[in-house]
A = this chain, B = another copy of it.
């Protein structure tokens, strides 16, 4: 049975403060819950409807995770989905470990992308393009925000990331840093770029002055019309698409 304390605990995970304190976050909906169960994340607790527990009985049994039966109404009360007739998982956050790029790998770096919907969409794009490693400045939205998890459509399970000082990492890695600016070399005119770091900046301020100094190549998405800018998730997608095309042709 779903206790008042568990309800209170899951509701607290809507706030970053309590996620950080407990080291846990939650994942909602059939598709995302199944993906997190099959990932290397450690599931702490699983709330399931009778339908979900029947449909995935063997998977749930195999994992040996604590399971609590819940109604769709209860799932909707504790989570953020307006409609959830499947499941909600409470999951352990991963330690914030720095990574090392592999040779030939593309890395995505975000400098203060603040909107959780944008961050989640960018995770999905990175996953689509096989970009496995992302680095976020500490002012970037929280990876474990329920809106990030939702917008990533399960892709949060397939990327590696860390929050840290972009400049320090760029200096350690000694890779080309391709920063997306409104001015620079058109991504349509690049030829034979070296693999490196694709860097995108904040929704309104772009890449910060401090980080800009460490950009080795300013690149831009060519404009043919009247719009002044593109959304940062859209720009990330176009950067990834062009670099993947150039590196694989």
Interface residues of chain A, those whose CB is within 8 Å of chain B, are: 121, 124-132, 153-155, 158, 188, 221-231, 233-234, 237-238, 241-242, 244-245, 248-249
Contact = CB atoms under 8 A, between A and B. Distances in A.
27 contacts: A121-B231, A121-B234, A124-B230, A125-B234, A126-B225, A127-B225, A127-B227, A128-B223, A128-B225, A129-B224, A129-B225, A130-B223, A130-B224, A131-B225, A132-B225, A153-B229, A154-B227, A154-B228, A155-B227, A158-B225, A158-B227, A188-B244, A222-B244, A234-B234, A234-B237, A237-B237, A238-B241
A212 to B, nearest CB: 23
A137 B66 CA distance: 48
A237 B230 contact: yes
A130 B225 CA distance: 4
A58 B188 CA distance: 42
B241 A221 contact: yes
> Top 9 nearest A-B pairs by Cβ distance?
A130-B224, A130-B225, A128-B227, A127-B227, A158-B226, A188-B245, A234-B237, A127-B225, A238-B241
Contacts of A153: 227-229
Nearest to A224: B130
Interface centre among A121, A221, A228 (most CB of B within 10 A): A228
Q: How many of these chains are in the complex?
A: 2
Contact of A233 (B158, B224, B234): B234
Contact of A248 (B188, B225, B244): B188
Nearest to A132: B225
A244 B244 CA distance: 17
B241 A224 contact: no
Contacts of A237: 230, 234, 237-238
A238 B228 CA distance: 18
Given A155-B226, A158-B225, A226-B155, A231 B124 contact: yes
B224 A244 contact: yes
A154 B229 CA distance: 11
- Greatest chain B CB density within 10 A among A127, A128, A222, A231 is at A128
A54 to B, nearest CB: 24
Contacts of A126: 225
Contacts of A227: 124-125, 127-128, 153-155, 158
A209 B119 CA distance: 33
A169 to B, nearest CB: 22
